[in-house]
Structure formats: structure tokens, C-alpha cells
Structure 1
């Protein structure tokens, strides 16, 4: 496991996850996935595992979390996206305090980036819907071939910015693991209630923020 000694308040590049970190999407993701999987005939005993879909990229998540074949996962993903994409921006609102935090980071001269397992186009539109895109220098989503959540996106951001130090901010172990692979620390956040704090610390999160105010303090704003 990677070890770091970093002053988080001085990191010039901050890379954010989207779902459960910037946006309060877990309820809508779980609701749509539940409907689609129920219609697809998933056994009731597996419904408890649906929250695990938040984090890894689709369609892979339906295979790794719920055990579906690649072909089934593609079909389920298409049905999920057809419904989710028509929900409207109220399904992906920023957490209270997030817009102000992003603005303050931007105004402080930080390079703010997004690395998400969402598709690139949908991630871009989701940020635009709430006028958050104006604070981002780089926005990286993924395509359906992604098997390593965020690792390549983080690498590309770092290659473009060449910072002395960069920092990942995310709510799931996948964020921490991807950042560790690239060699940067992660601030794990728990205010979205997508995973227990132990998941983040066990994966190697450098710091934990339980609230937006704690995250702001760690980022030096």
C-alpha cells in the first residue's frame, strides 16, 4: 500500500470523483438500477448488492458486483441509461456547499479536474446542468471498455498538468485504488454515505473528510 507525506492544503491539482463526491446521485442510481434489474428478473436476494454499483464503470459493474455475463451487462446498461438519461438534472444535484467549494478552489488558482466512471458526454452535461463546468480545467469520463476505474484518466490529467503534487478526492475504494496506482494520495469523503469509512481507510486513503467543511479545510480553502 502506498504511503504519503503530503500537505494537502498546498496541492495545486485537485481531481474529483463525481457520483457520491460532488453530486448526490446514489439515490437516483440505485432507484433506476433497481427498476431495471427487477424487470430483468434478478433474484430478490441480490437486491442488497445494488448499492455496490456506485463506483465501478458500467457495464463492467453489473458483472463484477452482481455476476452478470458481459452480454447481459451490456443489455442492462443500455436499459439503465435510457431511463437515467431522461431523469433531468434533479437526479444529479451537487451536494450543498460543493459549488462554493469549487469556485473557491478555482479562484485560489488551483487546477480542478474531474475523473469519473461516467461516460464522458454525460459527465460533461451533468456538470454543465449545474454550471459547475466553469470551474474545471479537465473533465475525464470513461467509455464502455473501461476496466480500471479512473486510473487512465488520472494519469492523463497529471501528464497534462505536470504538478509537484496532485490529490484525488473520492467516496469509494475504487478512487483510492486508482490514485494509489498512479502514485497520488486520496482524501476519502463519507458525507455521501456510499461506503463505510473503513472501506476508504482499508484501501489506503490518506485523509478522511466527513463533511464539506472538513474537505475544505483539508484543501486549504
Structure 2
């Protein structure tokens, strides 16, 4: 099948967000008198929307509490957390290689709020590579973001969704798209293999195989 759009997840795919995310989650938890959690525990949740992660961390579905925790998280993340991202080595060069083929258009579809995603891409000098940045918010699933992009004619049926977690792959599949799982982020080979992406890559340079 031909491909025309490459749609990238952000966290765990383009950049490593662990430091900023872990510190911002713990900032929010401690603001409400809850204990900080180990880095490894929080890192396991990187990828899905914030509200879903807080529900898992605190064991509560109370919408008021979850909303306040998300707001507290974003308070720190907006000032400090987004700047604690680290770009994965090899991403800029493979983007340049794919762009040089003149075969693809690039976009970003992330569960992160769009303004945060924009700041991160600008910080790395990558924003101009992407024609759009689709960000999520509370109550919005990634498959719904992709569905909206397709419905509005922003992307076509020939798009490929690229991400490091099962949620990225299933979101693409639910919209009838090809998918590429990447193993340099936070999803394990077991997690990604279970959802059977079209492609599975171990290193950023392998994205060039999409040509």
C-alpha cells in the first residue's frame, strides 16, 4: 500500500520526556499530600492521557480530584517540565532523509496538549518539519484525534501512525491506517507485538525503511 503521511507520536518517539513527566507527576501528587512515586513506576505510564495515568496512580475516578491533579501537573510542566525533554539521537537525520525523498508529509499526533508539544518541537528546531500538531486533552483518545484528522481531510487513508506504545498502534488501526511501532521509547517488544503493527523498528534510522 502506498504511503503519503507519516504521523508521529511525540513522547517516546521523537523525544524522551521522562524527567519532566516524572517530576511533574510527583509535584502534583505531593501538592495534594500524596507520596512521590518511584521514577520507574511513573515511567511505565508515559504515553496515555494524563487523566488515565492519574487514575491509575491514585486509584480514584473522582473527576474533581483528577482534574485538579492534572492542573497541578501542568503548572510545573508549562514552566519547567517541557524543557526537560531530550531529543532521541538519530531523529533529526532520519526526518531529513525522509523529507528529501519528497514522498511524505509529516504531522504529529500526541496525547500531550498541543501548546506543550509545539514548544518542545520548537525547542529542538523541528517544528517546521511538521505540517500540523494535533494535541490531546482530558477525555480525548488518540484514535479520536486521528479520526478527526481524517474526517476533516487533514490526512488520508494512506497515512502511517508511528509510536512507541500500544495505544498509538491501536489508534491507527482503528482508523484503518498502517502503523509503525518503535522500540526506543516506553513500549516493550511484548506490548507492541501484541497489537501487531505493520512495521516494528528498533532504531530511529530504520524509519528510512518506510521509503
TM-score by length of 1: 0.83
Query: What corresponds to 1:75 in structure 2?
Result: 68
> Contact 2:179 / 2:198 at 8 angstroms: preserved in 1?
yes
Q: Distance in 1 between matches of 2:166 and 2:147?
A: 18
Shift of 1:134: 0.6
Shift of 1:174: 0.7
Mapped pair 1:137 → 2:131: yes
Structure 1 residues 38 and 136, CA, compared in 2 at 3 Å: closer, same or farther? same
Q: Distance in 1 between matches of 2:15 and 2:72?
A: 22
Show CA shifts across 1:86-122 (max 9, x none): 1266412321111222223233221101000011111
Q: Distance in 1 between matches of 2:196 and 2:207?
A: 17
Query: What corresponds to 2:198 in structure 1?
Result: 206
Q: CA RMSD in A?
A: 2.4
> Contact 1:119 / 1:143 at 8 angstroms: preserved in 2?
yes
Query: What corresponds to 2:109 in structure 1?
Result: 115
Q: Which range moved further: 52-61 or 153-162? A: 153-162
Q: Distance in 1 between matches of 2:85 and 2:184?
A: 15
> Contact 1:189 / 1:210 at 8 angstroms: preserved in 2?
yes
Mapped pair 1:103 → 2:96: yes
User: What does 1:1-221 align with in structure 2 at a 5 Å threshold?
Assistant: 6=1, 10-42=2-34, 49-64=41-56, 66-68=58-60, 69-87=62-80, 90-109=83-102, 110-146=104-140, 148=141, 150-159=142-151, 160-161=153-154, 163=156, 165-192=158-185, 194-217=186-209, 219-220=210-211
> Contact 1:177 / 1:204 at 8 angstroms: preserved in 2?
no
Show CA shifts across 1:103-160 (max 9, x none): 23233221101000011111122212222111111211022231x2x21222233342
Q: Distance in 2 between matches of 1:75 and 1:43?
A: 16
Give the length in aligned residue pairs: 208
